[in-house]
Structure 1
Amino acid sequence: MGSLSSAVLGPYLSLWLKSVGLSFSEIGLVQSVSEIAQLLTDFPTGGLADRHGRVRVYSIGSSLFGLGLVVIGLSRGLWGVLAGASLSGLGSALVSGTMVPWLYDALGDRKLVKDVLSRLKALSGPVRFAGGFLGGVLAGLAPNVPVITAGLLAMASSVMASLLLPDNRGKAELGYSGILRRGLHVVFENRGLHLLLLSSFLLSFTGRAFFTFWMLLLKAKGLPDEALGPLFATMLLSTSLGALLAKKLEPSPKTVALTSALLGVEVALLGLVPDLWGSVALLFAVEVTLGTRGPLIAVLRNDLIPSEVRSTVSSTLSTLGSGFTAIANVAIGLLAGKFGLGTAYLVAGLTGALSALPIWGLTFLSAPGEGGNIMEKPCGR
């Protein structure tokens, strides 16, 4: 249901904001407000997940996220959109440190976690493919209908999680404040996490350029409006191909570094290639790379985090990531407004390629406790 919500929303949030008169910089501001709301609340909500249950906190967060999208879809001015973005940011904060930590601890086997994440990513492709077409049909009714529908689907996802998933949590006996202190200690002391954060900062510019402006970039290169929905739906299937490739790969620093560098190169080329069909081909390449990298980086990151504060640390990393993304949203928006989308994509791609270097640096760490948190079980599956 979450994948369907994301697919229905697709490129239509930015298009809706543009249709109500927001500029590139204002669209960047809206994204930044959402990220700042998440930045301010992510860390404490991660402690709530470790203390009170990851599924329970996910359900509350998904409901708030969906409500924020509904508010945005019903607003026709900047202030209403900013209010909805704030709600969605709070919902994202509650969600961020829940499902992957829940899965990692529920299974207890890093290889199995990677395989499950890869399968989920692959299965989400057909679901999102259908959602992309649905979003296109809904956009034909009115430009805000996909945004409102995506919000309602996110609320439905929260209900399904509550009904279907058995909950787990961190070391609840530490108490809420004890969990927060322990999580901060891990973040401050773990050199591997420091390298991941540096990589995340560099890659945030790449992600913001791609996810916020790809549809506007292609429209500027001649993509007709009626082709946007089918194109987006087809792109989502290529993410499934990437997820299937991830099943064949080891979630090692070298593998993640290579996929990060490849992602940066692809986004940079989007800014350089002038023709429409070459850009479309690069869009599919980016989606395959994203589908491959996602499960690998999720396992690699959780290898570095102790189980008892997994949600807290994940939310702390997300908090910092929200700050990075807020900076990137404004920077990419300003670059696009002053120099054009092509230049913004080129700069974002170069920072993405550089993001591979800190991840590669993980291969040189040998300090105890900075990796191998959960071993693969001898029997595999």
Structure 2
Amino acid sequence: MTPRSALRRYTLVSFLTWLPAGLMVAVSILLMTARGLSLIEIGLLSTVFSIVTITLELPTGGLADVVGRRVVLAVSAAFTVAALALMAVSTTFWMFLASGVLKGVARALSSGPATSWYVDTLHDLEGHDADLKPGLARGGAMESVALCLGVLAGGVTPLVVPRELLLPLAAPPLLGAVAAAVLLVVVVFALPEPSHARRSLADVLREVPATVAGGVRLSVGHPLLRRLMLAAAGSGVALAAVELLTPGRLAELAGTAEEGSAAYAVTAALGFAGSALGSALAPRAARLAGGSARGAAAGTVLTALSVGCLAATAGLGGPAGLVTAGLAYVVMFAGLSVAGMLCLELTHRSVTAAQRSTITSTSSLSLQAGAMLSNLAFGALASQSSTATAWVLASVVVLACALLFVRMPVLQPAVLAGDAERVRSA
């Protein structure tokens, strides 16, 4: 395998991993609303999803470090198929809850193994001094392209599906299940796993907890990783604020759930296009800012200002409301991608292959924790006060996270190597 072929496989898997999620973006909240769920119930479901993901993040990350990346990615795809197929036919809170649990398991399994596979493969081919930013940026851009195309397809589909066949809003989950099935096939046949020593079930059960415990000690004990985990939580706050509250507002502007789905699809697609742009520009942003930490700080500030713009224009209606939301989405997701991509590079440079997926899962856990708390807080705040108030609070929290990158601890490979050795011996 060559670096070019490894990058092609990584970007393909990145695209397919996020395509099902993209298909669901525009319709998930509207589908639950159409089937009788309240905003508070929807916020509770989002919280359950986050709890499941948080609970399994570290064990599944440790599992990927022990048994390999491909197996874990394949199981994740299978859970996604089951979750979205169930969601398409759900009619009660409890059915949606079961679907959310399955989605949480799939999300936990998928966070980390693909990037870990690419970084490990590139290190094998080019050595540990290989430049990670271009490949990680390409993978992040493909994730955003998948979300952009998926959200457009998912938003338009309800408008063209005959109502006599099924509820139009249920069509995108079915398409997502099909896309996840394609991912399963690709992972099994196109993502070769580096050779691993054979392990018995007892060995696996023993090694995973040790890997998880060592990874947690490393992420909490190392100043650089600790700040990166807090920054990920801030990203979760920003994402929860817009994903929970924007669909309902756009549905009100558009007039109907189906038209609101299409409006949100266009708005979210613009945001994901901005995300793809931010991922592609992340290496250049780091150069212009004078380092990855400063580039991530700039991206975080841009994100906070964009959420603040959403709050400031929440009272606008008609075309003006749609245009300002679209512009804010583009800038916000671009800022999130710049910050996220540079944080990802700093994270991967801070660990070795022995705990790479575990540490990446810890970052995802932090993001989910921020989103979980925000879903509860913003849902209640928007119901009792206003959407604008919730967005103001989110903007302030994200802006405060930019301070995490001030005087960021210097990366010290020798110290990190010692930390990794202690993790392996844990």
- Give TM class, smaller chain: 0.7 to 0.9
Counterpart in the other structure of 2:181: 155
Q: CA deviation at 1:176?
A: 3.4
Q: 1:30 to 1:98 in 2, by over 3 A?
A: same
Counterpart in the other structure of 1:188: 220
Which deviates the most, 36-45 or 174-183?
Answer: 174-183
**Deviation string, structure 1 residues 253-276 (Cα, Å, up to 9, x no partner):** 111111112101111210111331
Counterpart in the other structure of 1:229: 265
Instruction: Supply the AA of the counterpart residue of 1:346.
Output: V
Q: CA deviation at 1:222?
A: 5.2
Q: Contact 2:20/2:175 (CA < 8 Å) preserved in 1?
A: yes
Q: Take 2:418 and 2:157, find their aligned partners in 1: how far apart are those partners?
A: 46
Instruction: Supply the AA of the counterpart residue of 1:55.
Output: R
The answer to whether the aligner puts 1:333 opposite 2:369 as a matched pair is no
Match of 1:138 among 137, 157, 162: 157
Counterpart in the other structure of 1:259: 299
The answer to whether the aligner puts 1:166 opposite 2:185 as a matched pair is no
Q: CA deviation at 1:7?
A: 2.1
Q: Contact 1:195/1:361 (CA < 8 Å) preserved in 2?
A: no
Q: 1:241 to 1:180 in 2, by over 3 A?
A: closer
SS at match of 2:274: helix
Q: CA deviation at 1:363?
A: 4.2
Percent identity over the alignment?
23
Counterpart in the other structure of 1:305: 351
Counterpart in the other structure of 2:283: 247
Counterpart in the other structure of 1:53: 68
**Deviation string, structure 1 residues 316-346 (Cα, Å, up to 9, x no partner):** 3433443332212111111111111111111
Q: Contact 2:310/2:328 (CA < 8 Å) preserved in 1?
A: yes
The answer to whether the aligner puts 1:100 opposite 2:115 as a matched pair is yes
**Deviation string, structure 1 residues 93-118 (Cα, Å, up to 9, x no partner):** 11113112222211125763221122
Q: CA deviation at 1:245?
A: 1.4
**Deviation string, structure 1 residues 268-296 (Cα, Å, up to 9, x no partner):** 21011133122221122123223333322
Q: Contact 2:271/2:326 (CA < 8 Å) preserved in 1?
A: no
Q: CA deviation at 1:85?
A: 0.4
Counterpart in the other structure of 2:424: none
**Deviation string, structure 1 residues 152-187 (Cα, Å, up to 9, x no partner):** 312321221111012248998994344234223313
The answer to whether the aligner puts 1:314 opposite 2:340 as a matched pair is no
Instruction: Supply the AA of the counterpart residue of 2:273.
Output: L
SS at match of 1:143: helix
Q: CA deviation at 1:22?
A: 1.5
Which deviates the most, 279-288 or 265-274?
Answer: 279-288
Q: Take 1:232 and 1:220, find their aligned partners in 2: how far apart are those partners?
A: 16
Counterpart in the other structure of 1:378: none
SS at match of 1:362: coil
Q: 1:16 to 1:193 in 2, by over 3 A?
A: same
Match of 1:179 among 187, 190, 211: 211
SS at match of 1:249: helix
Q: Contact 2:297/2:339 (CA < 8 Å) preserved in 1?
A: no
Q: Take 1:373 and 1:300, find their aligned partners in 2: how far apart are those partners?
A: 16
1:266-305 alignment runs, 5 A limit: 266-273=306-313, 274-275=315-316, 276=321, 277-305=323-351
TM-score (norm 2): 0.79
Match of 1:77 among 92, 96, 101: 92
Alignment RMSD: 2.8
Q: Take 1:333 and 1:371, find their aligned partners in 2: how far apart are those partners?
A: 43
Instruction: Supply the AA of the counterpart residue of 1:136.
Output: G
Q: Contact 1:104/1:110 (CA < 8 Å) preserved in 2?
A: no
Q: CA deviation at 1:208?
A: 0.4
Q: Take 2:181 and 2:412, find their aligned partners in 1: how far apart are those partners?
A: 44
Q: Take 1:26 and 1:342, find their aligned partners in 2: how far apart are those partners?
A: 20
Q: CA deviation at 1:215?
A: 2.3
Counterpart in the other structure of 1:19: 34
Q: Take 1:347 and 1:240, find their aligned partners in 2: how far apart are those partners?
A: 26
Q: Contact 2:298/2:339 (CA < 8 Å) preserved in 1?
A: no
SS at match of 2:406: helix
Unaligned runs of 5+ in 2: 1-15, 162-167, 421-426
Instruction: Supply the AA of the counterpart residue of 2:394.
Output: A
Q: Take 2:335 and 2:329, find their aligned partners in 1: how far apart are those partners?
A: 10
Q: Take 2:169 and 2:368, find their aligned partners in 1: how far apart are those partners?
A: 27
Q: Contact 1:304/1:373 (CA < 8 Å) preserved in 2?
A: no
Q: Take 2:39 and 2:48, find their aligned partners in 1: how far apart are those partners?
A: 14
SS at match of 1:112: coil
Q: Take 2:215 and 2:411, find their aligned partners in 1: how far apart are those partners?
A: 21
Counterpart in the other structure of 2:43: 28
Greater C-alpha Rg:
2
Counterpart in the other structure of 1:358: 404
The answer to whether the aligner puts 1:120 opposite 2:129 as a matched pair is no
Q: Contact 1:74/1:148 (CA < 8 Å) preserved in 2?
A: no
TM-score (norm 1): 0.88
**Deviation string, structure 1 residues 221-260 (Cα, Å, up to 9, x no partner):** 5585343334433443332222221232336111111111
Q: Take 1:244 and 1:321, find their aligned partners in 2: how far apart are those partners?
A: 22
SS at match of 2:87: helix
Q: 1:110 to 1:67 in 2, by over 3 A?
A: farther
